[in-house]
Structure 1
Protein backbone atom coordinates (compact mmCIF):
# COMPACT_ATOMS: atom_id res chain seq x y z
CA UNK A 1 0.00 0.00 0.00
CA UNK A 2 1.32 3.46 -0.91
CA UNK A 3 1.63 5.85 2.01
CA UNK A 4 1.78 9.64 1.99
CA UNK A 5 3.76 11.62 4.55
CA UNK A 6 4.44 15.12 5.81
CA UNK A 7 6.52 16.69 8.56
CA UNK A 8 5.29 19.29 11.03
CA UNK A 9 7.75 21.55 12.83
CA UNK A 10 6.16 23.27 15.81
CA UNK A 11 9.47 24.18 17.47
CA UNK A 12 8.93 21.68 20.30
CA UNK A 13 11.94 20.57 22.34
CA UNK A 14 10.30 17.98 24.61
CA UNK A 15 9.07 14.46 23.72
CA UNK A 16 6.06 14.57 26.06
CA UNK A 17 4.93 17.89 24.57
CA UNK A 18 5.40 16.42 21.09
CA UNK A 19 3.31 13.35 22.04
CA UNK A 20 0.58 15.64 23.37
CA UNK A 21 0.58 17.75 20.19
CA UNK A 22 0.43 14.62 18.00
CA UNK A 23 -2.66 13.42 19.87
CA UNK A 24 -4.25 16.89 19.74
CA UNK A 25 -3.64 17.31 16.01
CA UNK A 26 -4.84 13.79 15.22
CA UNK A 27 -8.09 14.48 17.07
CA UNK A 28 -8.57 17.90 15.44
CA UNK A 29 -7.86 16.45 12.00
CA UNK A 30 -10.02 13.35 12.65
CA UNK A 31 -7.26 11.08 11.33
CA UNK A 32 -8.32 7.54 10.43
CA UNK A 33 -7.11 4.42 12.27
CA UNK A 34 -4.59 3.67 9.48
CA UNK A 35 -2.63 6.88 10.06
CA UNK A 36 0.78 6.98 11.73
CA UNK A 37 2.04 9.86 13.88
CA UNK A 38 5.72 9.87 14.82
CA UNK A 39 8.27 12.02 16.59
CA UNK A 40 11.74 12.65 15.19
CA UNK A 41 14.70 14.16 17.02
CA UNK A 42 16.18 16.92 14.89
CA UNK A 43 19.76 17.83 15.70
CA UNK A 44 21.89 20.70 14.50
CA UNK A 45 21.88 24.39 15.30
CA UNK A 46 18.23 24.26 16.45
CA UNK A 47 17.59 20.93 18.26
CA UNK A 48 13.91 20.06 18.46
CA UNK A 49 11.33 17.32 18.06
CA UNK A 50 9.58 17.27 14.68
CA UNK A 51 6.33 15.43 14.07
CA UNK A 52 5.40 13.37 11.04
CA UNK A 53 2.11 12.02 9.81
CA UNK A 54 1.89 9.15 7.35
CA UNK A 55 -1.53 8.84 5.79
CA UNK A 56 -3.26 6.24 3.61
CA UNK A 57 -4.25 8.50 0.69
CA UNK A 58 -3.09 11.51 -1.31
CA UNK A 59 -6.41 13.39 -0.90
CA UNK A 60 -6.17 13.02 2.88
CA UNK A 61 -2.55 14.16 2.79
CA UNK A 62 -3.56 17.29 0.83
CA UNK A 63 -6.35 18.10 3.28
CA UNK A 64 -4.11 17.61 6.32
CA UNK A 65 -1.29 19.67 4.75
CA UNK A 66 -3.67 22.56 3.99
CA UNK A 67 -5.20 22.56 7.47
CA UNK A 68 -1.82 22.43 9.23
CA UNK A 69 -0.23 25.06 6.99
CA UNK A 70 -3.17 27.38 7.75
CA UNK A 71 -2.15 27.18 11.41
CA UNK A 72 1.09 28.12 13.09
CA UNK A 73 3.09 25.14 11.87
CA UNK A 74 5.88 24.75 9.37
CA UNK A 75 4.85 21.86 7.10
CA UNK A 76 7.17 19.99 4.70
CA UNK A 77 6.68 16.94 2.48
CA UNK A 78 7.97 13.52 3.58
CA UNK A 79 9.48 12.49 6.91
CA UNK A 80 12.68 13.94 8.46
CA UNK A 81 14.27 10.49 8.77
CA UNK A 82 13.39 6.80 8.59
CA UNK A 83 13.78 6.16 12.34
CA UNK A 84 10.75 7.88 13.80
CA UNK A 85 9.27 7.01 17.18
CA UNK A 86 5.66 5.93 16.63
CA UNK A 87 3.08 7.50 18.94
CA UNK A 88 -0.03 7.00 16.81
CA UNK A 89 -0.31 3.82 14.75
CA UNK A 90 -2.88 1.15 13.92
CA UNK A 91 -3.83 -0.77 17.06
CA UNK A 92 -2.18 1.50 19.63
CA UNK A 93 -5.46 1.97 21.52
CA UNK A 94 -5.67 -1.82 22.09
CA UNK A 95 -2.27 -1.97 23.81
CA UNK A 96 -3.34 -1.55 27.43
CA UNK A 97 -2.65 -3.50 30.60
CA UNK A 98 -0.71 -6.74 30.38
CA UNK A 99 -0.60 -8.61 27.07
CA UNK A 100 1.48 -11.42 25.67
CA UNK A 101 4.01 -10.60 22.98
CA UNK A 102 1.79 -12.45 20.48
CA UNK A 103 -1.27 -10.37 21.46
CA UNK A 104 0.71 -7.13 21.09
CA UNK A 105 1.89 -8.13 17.61
CA UNK A 106 -1.57 -9.31 16.52
CA UNK A 107 -3.38 -6.19 17.76
CA UNK A 108 -1.07 -3.55 16.33
CA UNK A 109 1.17 -2.43 13.49
CA UNK A 110 4.25 -3.39 15.52
CA UNK A 111 6.33 -5.90 13.53
CA UNK A 112 8.70 -7.16 16.20
CA UNK A 113 9.55 -7.03 19.92
CA UNK A 114 13.21 -6.79 20.95
CA UNK A 115 14.55 -7.35 24.46
CA UNK A 116 17.53 -5.17 25.34
CA UNK A 117 20.67 -7.17 26.08
CA UNK A 118 19.37 -10.46 24.73
CA UNK A 119 19.75 -12.14 21.34
CA UNK A 120 16.67 -13.21 19.45
CA UNK A 121 13.06 -12.41 20.12
CA UNK A 122 10.96 -13.23 23.20
CA UNK A 123 8.59 -16.20 23.18
CA UNK A 124 5.08 -15.34 21.94
CA UNK A 125 3.55 -16.18 25.35
CA UNK A 126 5.89 -13.83 27.26
CA UNK A 127 3.81 -11.29 29.26
CA UNK A 128 4.38 -7.62 28.54
CA UNK A 129 3.15 -4.90 30.94
CA UNK A 130 2.37 -1.99 28.61
CA UNK A 131 1.93 0.80 31.16
CA UNK A 132 -0.53 2.04 28.48
CA UNK A 133 2.53 3.69 26.87
CA UNK A 134 3.89 1.74 23.90
CA UNK A 135 6.30 3.71 21.67
CA UNK A 136 7.92 1.50 19.02
CA UNK A 137 10.67 2.83 16.75
CA UNK A 138 10.88 2.58 12.97
CA UNK A 139 14.03 0.79 11.88
CA UNK A 140 15.93 1.64 8.70
CA UNK A 141 14.62 -1.55 7.07
CA UNK A 142 11.03 -0.31 7.46
CA UNK A 143 10.05 -2.50 10.41
CA UNK A 144 8.34 -1.12 13.50
CA UNK A 145 10.12 -2.49 16.59
CA UNK A 146 9.21 -2.18 20.27
CA UNK A 147 12.27 -2.21 22.53
CA UNK A 148 11.58 -3.82 25.88
CA UNK A 149 13.46 -4.84 29.00
CA UNK A 150 12.89 -7.52 31.62
CA UNK A 151 11.06 -6.44 34.76
CA UNK A 152 11.19 -7.95 38.23
CA UNK A 153 9.23 -11.20 38.28
CA UNK A 154 9.63 -12.09 34.61
CA UNK A 155 7.39 -9.92 32.43
CA UNK A 156 8.72 -7.48 29.88
CA UNK A 157 8.06 -3.73 29.97
CA UNK A 158 8.59 -1.12 27.25
CA UNK A 159 12.04 0.44 27.43
CA UNK A 160 10.47 3.91 27.33
CA UNK A 161 8.61 4.64 30.54
CA UNK A 162 5.54 6.93 30.52
CA UNK A 163 6.86 9.43 33.09
CA UNK A 164 10.66 9.26 33.20
CA UNK A 165 12.54 10.69 36.16
CA UNK A 166 14.57 13.67 34.93
CA UNK A 167 18.31 13.25 35.06
CA UNK A 168 19.76 14.35 38.39
CA UNK A 169 16.26 14.70 39.93
CA UNK A 170 17.61 13.95 43.38
CA UNK A 171 20.26 16.68 43.34
Structure 2
Protein backbone atom coordinates (compact mmCIF):
# COMPACT_ATOMS: atom_id res chain seq x y z
CA UNK A 1 0.00 0.00 0.00
CA UNK A 2 1.09 3.55 -0.66
CA UNK A 3 2.35 5.73 2.18
CA UNK A 4 -0.68 8.01 2.31
CA UNK A 5 -2.93 5.05 3.05
CA UNK A 6 -0.96 3.27 5.75
CA UNK A 7 0.34 6.11 7.91
CA UNK A 8 -1.50 7.13 11.08
CA UNK A 9 -0.41 10.74 10.55
CA UNK A 10 -3.35 12.03 8.52
CA UNK A 11 -5.74 14.86 9.27
CA UNK A 12 -8.83 15.64 7.17
CA UNK A 13 -9.99 19.22 6.79
CA UNK A 14 -13.61 19.80 5.83
CA UNK A 15 -13.84 23.48 4.95
CA UNK A 16 -17.08 23.07 2.99
CA UNK A 17 -15.26 23.55 -0.33
CA UNK A 18 -17.63 23.16 -3.27
CA UNK A 19 -15.33 22.06 -6.09
CA UNK A 20 -11.99 20.48 -6.95
CA UNK A 21 -10.39 23.75 -8.04
CA UNK A 22 -11.22 25.33 -4.69
CA UNK A 23 -9.90 22.27 -2.85
CA UNK A 24 -6.66 22.38 -4.90
CA UNK A 25 -6.20 26.03 -3.94
CA UNK A 26 -6.93 25.24 -0.29
CA UNK A 27 -4.25 22.51 -0.26
CA UNK A 28 -1.71 24.79 -1.91
CA UNK A 29 -2.52 27.60 0.51
CA UNK A 30 -2.23 25.25 3.50
CA UNK A 31 1.12 23.94 2.24
CA UNK A 32 2.46 27.50 2.08
CA UNK A 33 0.88 28.79 5.31
CA UNK A 34 1.83 25.75 7.37
CA UNK A 35 5.25 25.26 5.77
CA UNK A 36 4.48 21.59 5.16
CA UNK A 37 7.39 19.28 4.38
CA UNK A 38 7.92 18.10 0.78
CA UNK A 39 7.05 14.57 1.90
CA UNK A 40 3.46 15.59 2.71
CA UNK A 41 0.63 14.07 0.70
CA UNK A 42 -2.34 16.43 0.22
CA UNK A 43 -5.42 14.87 -1.34
CA UNK A 44 -8.94 15.86 -2.29
CA UNK A 45 -11.88 13.64 -1.38
CA UNK A 46 -15.45 13.90 -2.67
CA UNK A 47 -17.94 13.88 0.19
CA UNK A 48 -21.29 12.56 -0.98
CA UNK A 49 -23.92 13.17 1.66
CA UNK A 50 -26.81 15.60 2.07
CA UNK A 51 -24.31 18.43 1.48
CA UNK A 52 -21.92 17.37 -1.34
CA UNK A 53 -18.49 18.99 -1.07
CA UNK A 54 -14.75 18.34 -1.35
CA UNK A 55 -12.73 17.67 1.80
CA UNK A 56 -8.93 17.60 1.85
CA UNK A 57 -6.52 15.39 3.74
CA UNK A 58 -2.92 15.99 4.75
CA UNK A 59 -0.72 12.98 5.40
CA UNK A 60 2.41 13.98 7.23
CA UNK A 61 5.72 12.18 7.80
CA UNK A 62 5.60 11.98 11.59
CA UNK A 63 3.50 12.35 14.72
CA UNK A 64 5.35 15.59 15.54
CA UNK A 65 4.37 17.07 12.16
CA UNK A 66 0.78 15.92 12.65
CA UNK A 67 0.50 17.51 16.10
CA UNK A 68 1.99 20.80 14.89
CA UNK A 69 -0.16 20.89 11.75
CA UNK A 70 -3.34 20.00 13.67
CA UNK A 71 -2.67 22.80 16.18
CA UNK A 72 -2.04 25.34 13.42
CA UNK A 73 -5.17 24.26 11.51
CA UNK A 74 -7.25 24.56 14.68
CA UNK A 75 -5.81 27.99 15.48
CA UNK A 76 -6.42 29.28 11.95
CA UNK A 77 -9.98 27.90 11.78
CA UNK A 78 -9.66 26.28 8.36
CA UNK A 79 -12.65 23.97 8.92
CA UNK A 80 -13.75 20.85 10.76
CA UNK A 81 -10.84 18.50 11.50
CA UNK A 82 -10.91 14.73 11.83
CA UNK A 83 -8.26 12.04 12.21
CA UNK A 84 -7.40 9.86 9.23
CA UNK A 85 -8.40 10.12 5.59
CA UNK A 86 -12.12 10.07 4.70
CA UNK A 87 -11.51 7.26 2.18
CA UNK A 88 -8.70 5.41 0.41
CA UNK A 89 -9.26 6.96 -3.00
CA UNK A 90 -7.89 10.49 -2.69
CA UNK A 91 -6.80 12.61 -5.63
CA UNK A 92 -3.26 13.80 -4.90
CA UNK A 93 -2.42 17.48 -5.30
CA UNK A 94 0.57 17.63 -2.95
CA UNK A 95 3.03 14.74 -3.04
CA UNK A 96 6.78 14.25 -3.21
CA UNK A 97 8.08 15.51 -6.55
CA UNK A 98 4.83 17.21 -7.63
CA UNK A 99 6.41 20.65 -7.99
CA UNK A 100 8.98 19.31 -10.49
CA UNK A 101 6.36 17.86 -12.86
CA UNK A 102 6.35 20.72 -15.33
CA UNK A 103 6.72 20.97 -19.08
CA UNK A 104 7.42 17.82 -21.07
CA UNK A 105 9.23 14.78 -19.69
CA UNK A 106 9.25 11.07 -20.37
CA UNK A 107 7.03 8.68 -18.45
CA UNK A 108 10.20 7.24 -16.89
CA UNK A 109 11.33 10.70 -15.71
CA UNK A 110 7.88 11.40 -14.27
CA UNK A 111 7.92 8.14 -12.31
CA UNK A 112 11.53 8.49 -11.15
CA UNK A 113 11.07 12.08 -10.01
CA UNK A 114 7.83 11.78 -8.09
CA UNK A 115 5.80 9.58 -5.75
CA UNK A 116 3.63 8.39 -8.66
CA UNK A 117 3.79 4.59 -8.85
CA UNK A 118 2.25 3.97 -12.24
CA UNK A 119 0.87 5.62 -15.39
CA UNK A 120 -2.10 4.17 -17.23
CA UNK A 121 -3.39 5.28 -20.63
CA UNK A 122 -7.14 5.41 -21.11
CA UNK A 123 -8.28 2.86 -23.66
CA UNK A 124 -4.86 1.17 -23.90
CA UNK A 125 -3.81 -2.14 -22.38
CA UNK A 126 -0.81 -2.22 -20.06
CA UNK A 127 1.45 0.64 -19.18
CA UNK A 128 2.98 3.10 -21.66
CA UNK A 129 6.53 2.82 -22.91
CA UNK A 130 8.84 4.56 -20.40
CA UNK A 131 10.29 6.73 -23.18
CA UNK A 132 6.91 8.19 -24.17
CA UNK A 133 6.84 11.99 -23.78
CA UNK A 134 4.35 13.31 -21.21
CA UNK A 135 3.17 16.90 -21.64
CA UNK A 136 2.28 17.72 -18.02
CA UNK A 137 0.50 21.04 -18.63
CA UNK A 138 1.88 21.76 -15.12
CA UNK A 139 -1.17 19.93 -13.69
CA UNK A 140 -0.55 16.33 -12.62
CA UNK A 141 -3.24 14.87 -10.33
CA UNK A 142 -2.77 11.12 -9.73
CA UNK A 143 -5.26 9.12 -7.67
CA UNK A 144 -4.84 6.43 -5.03
CA UNK A 145 -5.93 3.08 -6.47
CA UNK A 146 -5.37 -0.13 -4.54
CA UNK A 147 -2.64 1.45 -2.45
CA UNK A 148 -0.72 2.84 -5.46
CA UNK A 149 -0.57 6.42 -6.72
CA UNK A 150 -1.73 6.13 -10.34
CA UNK A 151 -1.79 8.82 -13.02
CA UNK A 152 -4.44 8.41 -15.71
CA UNK A 153 -3.18 9.77 -19.03
CA UNK A 154 -4.67 10.23 -22.48
CA UNK A 155 -3.04 10.04 -25.92
CA UNK A 156 -2.24 13.43 -27.45
CA UNK A 157 -0.77 14.87 -30.65
CA UNK A 158 2.57 13.64 -31.90
CA UNK A 159 2.61 10.40 -29.91
CA UNK A 160 2.68 12.21 -26.58
CA UNK A 161 0.57 11.70 -23.48
CA UNK A 162 -1.18 14.24 -21.28
CA UNK A 163 -2.67 13.82 -17.81
CA UNK A 164 -6.35 12.98 -18.22
CA UNK A 165 -7.44 15.78 -15.90
CA UNK A 166 -7.39 19.09 -17.72
CA UNK A 167 -6.00 22.03 -15.70
CA UNK A 168 -8.70 24.58 -16.54
CA UNK A 169 -11.86 22.76 -17.59
CA UNK A 170 -14.71 24.76 -19.06
CA UNK A 171 -17.61 24.57 -16.64
CA UNK A 172 -20.65 22.68 -17.88
CA UNK A 173 -23.09 24.93 -19.68
CA UNK A 174 -20.61 27.86 -19.68
CA UNK A 175 -22.03 29.14 -22.96
CA UNK A 176 -25.68 29.14 -21.85
User: Which bin holds the TM-score, normalised by the shorter protein?
Assistant: over 0.9
Corresponding position: 1:45 with 2:55: no
Q: Runs of 5+ in structure 2 lacking a partner?
A: none
Distance 1:63 1:120 in 2: 42
Corresponding position: 1:92 with 2:112: no
Distance 1:77 1:64 in 2: 12
Distance 2:21 2:141 in 1: 12
> Secondary structure, in 3 states, of the residue corresponding to 2:70?
helix
2:83 to 72, 77, 80: 77
- The alignment yields a C-alpha RMSD, in angstroms, of 1.1
Q: How does 1:147-166 map to 2 (within 5 A)?
A: 147-166=152-171
Distance 1:164 1:105 in 2: 25
Question: 1:115-153, CA deviations, whole angstroms, 9 ceiling, x for partnerless residues?
Answer: 0011100000000000000000011x2100000000122
- In structure 2, the residue matched to 1:59 is 64
TM-score by length of 1: 0.96
1:129 to 111, 126, 135: 135
Distance 2:156 2:28 in 1: 28
Q: Runs of 5+ in structure 1 lacking a partner?
A: none
Corresponding position: 1:112 with 2:114: no
Give, in angstroms, the shift of residue 112 of structure 1: 0.1
Off by >2 Å, runs of 4+ in structure 1: 168-171
124-133 vs 146-155, which moves further: 146-155
Give, in angstroms, the shift of residue 170 of structure 1: 2.9
Corresponding position: 1:35 with 2:49: no
TM-score by length of 2: 0.94
Question: 1:29-65, CA deviations, whole angstroms, 9 ceiling, x for partnerless residues?
Answer: 1111111100000001010000000000001101111
